[in-house]
Structure 1
């Protein structure tokens, strides 16, 4: 009997790659999009869900339960990017990033958990980011929203383990997706004291995405995780230097690591 999978944010990028790959492996996959009627050419069923609207989360989950009787795997992938100096980024945009990347993910978890507890089985995979392991200049809000999700995963994992549910994080580095078009960019203000450094870093971020890895690597890692009896808490998928940066942050004095980052970002 095919396992039932729910993948949020599956209309493009990493989410679409995961949903497509799992459906090709024989899983019954439901992907989500805020506007599924506008999407075409999917090998899985696409349903409406907006993580900022709790009623759409409940409706989507209920519809899957009514059709299938269960949800075995949740891939919490929906998220947005945000860039800009902390001083100049609108606080409302900061809240929107946390509401999407953090609270939205939590609301989906809270909605599926009662069903997973009842069936005494479930796997929840939260898509975080290697950027969530460190405060990156001009990406502080994105980094902190993903870092917060990492820690909540650790806590919730311990709370639900006795119910037969595993919760893990998977942190991607730079991948070749259309995230740039969906990222909130704080404007480059003419009189900004951050203008030159921010512009240089925007160009660097975009270049990293353009030369990023194929999202299929994330899909393959998710497939491996859900077929692992006792999965780890944290997984990282990215370039060698991206993953090694986490090790360096752990072993180097704070000011040394800060200097490395500032040199890399030319600050």
Structure 2
């Protein structure tokens, strides 16, 4: 029987690549978007879902269960970028980012768990970020929201262990997607003390995305995780130095690691 997969944010970028890859591997895939009418040519159905709207989440999950009779894999992929000096990012934008990157995935997990418990099986993959392993300058809110999701997964895994439901994180590095266009960018203020360092860092971040890895690498990694009977807690997908940066953070003194980041961002 083909596994039934729900991918939030499955209409573009990494989510679309994962869905397209899984379709070729004979999975039954459902993606989501806040505006599904824009994606009528998708290779798999795109359901209306806004991770900030619990009613839309419950409706989308119910549609899948009513149609397929089961739900085997949830890929919590929907997310939003945010950049800016923490001092200057409006509070409402900070809250909105956590609503999408942290509270949204929690609400989707809550919606699928009853069905997975009923089946006594299921897999939940939370797409986080290598940026969630470290506080990055002018990406602090994004790092914090993705880091929070990493820790949440660690706790959640132990709570659902008795139901034969698995949960894991897959943390991508920089991939060539349209995420930079969809980020909230705090404006570079003319009189801001952060004007030059933030402006320079923003250009550097955008260049990393433009030269990022092929999203199909992420799709292949997720497919391999789905095939594992007992997945690990954390997976990282990216170029060597991005993954190695996490190892360096574990072994280097804090101030030395901080100096490496400062030098990298030319601050």
Give the TM-score category using the shorter length.
over 0.9
Q: Does 1:146 align with 2:146?
A: yes
Matched residue, 2:32: 32
1:234-253 aligned at under 5 Å gives the runs: 234-253=234-253
Match of 2:6 in 1: 6
Is 1:219 aligned to 2:227, yes or no?
no
Distance in 2 separating the partners of 1:214 and 1:249: 26
Aligned-partner Cα distance in 2 for 1:217–1:184: 26
Indicate the residue corresponding to 2:131 in structure 1: 131
Query: Partner of 2:137: helix, strand, or coil?
Result: coil
How many aligned residue pairs are there?
267
Deviations along 1:173-232, one digit per CA (max 9) or x if unpaired, are 000000011000000000000000001000000000000000001100110001011111
Q: Distance in 1 between matches of 2:252 and 2:241?
A: 15
Gaps of 5+ in 2: none
1:44: which partner in 2?
Answer: 44
What is the CA–CA distance in structure 2 between the aligned matches of 1:43 and 1:77, rounded to whole Å?
A: 18
Q: Which runs of 5+ in 1 are unaligned?
A: none
Give the secondary structure class of the aligned counterpart of 2:88.
coil
Aligned position for 1:184: 184
TM-score by length of 1: 0.99
Return the offset for 1:41: 2.4
Corresponding residue of 2:260:
260
Structure 2 length normalisation: TM-score?
A: 0.99
Structural RMSD (CA): 0.6
Q: Which SS does the other structure have where 1:87 is aligned? A: helix
1:93-126, CA deviations, whole angstroms, 9 ceiling, x for partnerless residues?
0000000000000000010001101100000000
1:167 shift after superposition: 0.1
